[in-house]
Structure formats: structure tokens, C-alpha cells
């Protein structure tokens, strides 16, 4: 092995942790705070088992969809109630673990939490504190390769969220209704679709394994659109965290009676 190859195999031998002089620590710090706050909020809400449904307007928060526990209000349980009603089992236990795994294995979130939580590395050209680096070649990080399968499940869950958003236009008495809650639910589901479709796995499923795009014009067109969205994947990842939290908070507030839904029709 030549000395040049040997030198390139390791990190630059400099005493300083980094030669960067900009505020490189700001993005990982912001990601740490943002993700930690969101996880705390989502965990509290998932286990709250209350204020998740507004029967009058059929608003169901995505954090409880589909509601499949025996503890769910019957009207909110669009797909039946079959899980035991115990405090340690969220009402949407059928889907929440997969949504968590979908986001945990997402290419963007991986970058964000590897940097923000594991400092591995904290930023470009900043040495990490760990002595060893095995990448994603071993368990449990080897499981990151399952992302494609979580994408399929997430797409099905997005369909369920779409169903919930449509269902919310039918009020308890069977008549049509439109309120601010509907608008929030629809915006959330549109953003969820945009995030899901912009997934790197989706892009490779749509346009991958093809030798000639010219022979598959439809897939090429779809791939171009998905690629466009894919360029905004990071923004969509954060936007959907925001829309999910806003949707859930709004439905919690209306359900708890903190304020009334702003009605437009009905
Ligand atoms: Fe982020 Fe697939 S890469 S959801």
C-alpha cells in the first residue's frame, strides 16, 4: 500500500477538533432541540388516551389513527376495536411503531440524529468523539436497510389518514360540515403524502432498475416529479412534524373544550 493510500484511509492528523470557524454547531443543536421536543410531545400524546376525537365533527387526530383499542370511542374506531385497553398501549399501536420506524430509518432523519444525538460526526469536517466507526454495517444499524419496507407501510397509513380527513367532512348527524379542523386535517394529509412520496426509497422504486428511461415514459415522468419532491425531502420532514403536531394539538384543544372549532359550513 502506498503512503498516499494509507494517508487517505484515515482522518487528517490535526490537533484541533476542527478548523471550521463558522457556527457549525448551530444546525445539530437546532435539530437536537426540535427533535427532542417533538418526541416528548408525541410520546405524551400517544399515551394520554384522551382528547383525541371530536365526535360532533368526526375529527380524529392522526396520533390515534386508526383507533383500534377497546378503549377507543366507538365512533372513532373506523377499523374495529381489538387491542386491550391498557395504559401502556397507545390506541393506535398498530401503526405508530411503523411510523416511528419509517422516520427513524429515513435518510434525512438519519443524517439529522446521527449528527445531533450521536455527534457521529456533529458536522462536516468536525471530528467525532467516537474512536471506532462501523457505519451501518452491523446490527442494529444494519436494520436501516429495511427503510423501503417501512415506506410501503407508511403509504398505507397515509391512505388511512386520507380516509380520516375525508370522513371528517361528515358530521355526527350525517350532514356535510366544514370547519378550520377540516382544513388543518387536509393540509396535514397533503403534506404527509408529499413527505412519503418524496422518500428516497419511493424514488428508487419508481425509477430504479431501468436501463432505458426512453422505454418507460410513464415511469420516467413520475420519477421526474418524485425527484423534484425528493429535493425538498428535508423541508417536508420538518413540515410534517409541524403539521402533525398542529393537527393533534388543534383536535386536542377542541375535544377538551379549550376553544370551539371555527365553523365555515354547518
Ligand atoms: Fe426519508 Fe424515505 S428517505 S422517508
- pLDDT over 70 for what percent of the chain? 95
E strands, the chain, in order: 53-54, 59-60, 178-179, 263-265
Integer Cα distance of 73 and 80 in angstroms: 11
Ligand 1: does its nearest atom lie under 6 Å from the Cβ of 199?
yes
**Ligand 1 centroid distance, CA of 196 (Å):** 7
The Cβ of residue 221 has, within 10 Å, a number of other Cβ atoms equal to: 12
Alpha carbon nearest to ligand 1 atom 2, residue? 199
* pLDDT of residue 133 exceeding 90: no
The cell for 154 is: 407508511
Can you tell me which residue has the cell 420538518?
238
94-118 CB burial, b ≥16 within 10 A, e <16: bbbebbebbbebbbbbbebbbbbee
What is the reported pLDDT for 134? 86
Question: Is-contact 217 196, C-beta < 8 A?
Answer: no
Closest ligand 1 atom, residue 108 Cα: 1
Rg value, the chain, Cα: 22
Choice from 107, 227, 232 to test ligand 1 binding pocket (greatest atom count within 8 A of CB): 107
Mean pLDDT of the chain, nearest integer: 94
Tell me the pLDDT tens digit for each residue of 181-224. Answer: 999 999 999 999 999 999 999 999 999 989 999 999 999 999 99
Residue 35's contacts (CB-CB under 8 Å, 6 or more residues apart) are: 109, 112, 113, 116, 117
**Ligand 1 centroid distance, CA of 176 (Å):** 36
Choice from 98, 101, 108 to test ligand 1 binding pocket (greatest atom count within 8 A of CB): 108
What is the reported pLDDT for 10? 65
Choice from 199, 235, 236 to test ligand 1 binding pocket (greatest atom count within 8 A of CB): 199
Region of residue 216 (left: phi > 0; alpha: psi -120 to 50; beta: else)? beta
Ligand 1: does its nearest atom lie under 6 Å from the Cβ of 108?
yes
What is the reported pLDDT for 5? 41
What is the reported pLDDT for 90? 98
Tell me the pLDDT tens digit for each residue of 41-76. Answer: 999 999 999 999 999 999 999 999 999 999 999 999
Tell me the pLDDT tens digit for each residue of 143-172. Answer: 999 999 999 999 999 999 999 999 999 999
Tell me the pLDDT tens digit for each residue of 6-39. Answer: 445 566 778 888 999 999 999 999 999 999 999 9
What is the reported pLDDT for 129? 86
Alpha carbon nearest to ligand 1 atom 1, residue? 106
Ligand 1: does its nearest atom lie under 6 Å from the Cβ of 158?
no
What is the reported pLDDT for 6? 45
* pTM assigned to the model: 0.92
Amino acid at each position: 500500500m502506498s503512503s498516499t493510500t494509507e494517508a487517505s484511509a484515515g482522518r487528517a492528523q490535526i490537533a484541533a477538533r476542527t478548523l471550521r470557524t463558522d457556527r457549525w454547531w448551530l444546525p445539530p443543536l437546532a435539530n437536537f432541540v426540535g427533535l427532542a421536543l417533538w418526541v416528548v410531545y408525541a410520546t405524551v400524546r400517544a399515551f394520554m388516551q384522551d382528547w383525541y376525537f371530536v365526535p360532533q365533527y368526526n375529527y380524529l387526530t392522526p396520533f390515534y389513527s386508526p383507533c383500534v383499542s377497546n378503549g377507543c370511542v366507538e365512533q372513532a374506531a373506523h377499523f374495529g376495536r381489538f387491542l386491550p385497553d391498557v395504559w401502556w398501549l397507545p390506541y393506535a399501536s398498530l401503526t405508530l411503531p411503523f411510523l416511528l420506524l419509517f422516520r427513524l430509518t429515513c435518510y434525512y432523519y438519519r443524517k439529522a440524529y446521527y449528527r445531533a444525538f450521536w455527534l457521529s460526526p456533529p458536522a462536516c469536517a468536525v471530528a467525532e468523539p467516537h474512536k471506532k466507526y462501523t457505519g451501518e454495517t452491523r446490527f442494529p444499524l444494519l436494520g436501516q436497510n429495511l427503510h423501503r419496507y417501512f415506506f410501503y407501510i407508511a403509504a398505507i397509513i397515509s391512505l388511512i389518514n386520507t380516509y380520516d380527513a375525508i370522513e371528517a367532512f361528515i358530521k355526527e348527524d350525517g350532514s356535510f360540515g366544514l370547519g378550520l379542523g377540516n382544513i388543518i386535517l387536509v393540509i396535514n394529509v397533503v403534506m404527509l403524502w408529499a413527505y412519503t412520496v418524496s422518500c428516497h426509497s419511493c424514488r428508487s422504486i419508481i425509477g430504479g432498475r431501468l436501463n432505458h428511461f426512453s422505454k418507460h415514459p410513464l415511469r420516467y415522468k413520475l420519477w421526474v416529479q418524485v425527484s423534484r419532491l425528493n429535493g425538498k425531502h428535508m423541508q417536508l420532514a420538518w413540515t410534517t412534524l409541524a403539521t402533525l403536531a398542529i393537527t393533534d394539538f388543534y383536535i386536542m384543544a377542541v375535544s377538551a373544550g379549550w376553544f370551539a372549532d371555527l365553523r365555515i359550513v354547518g
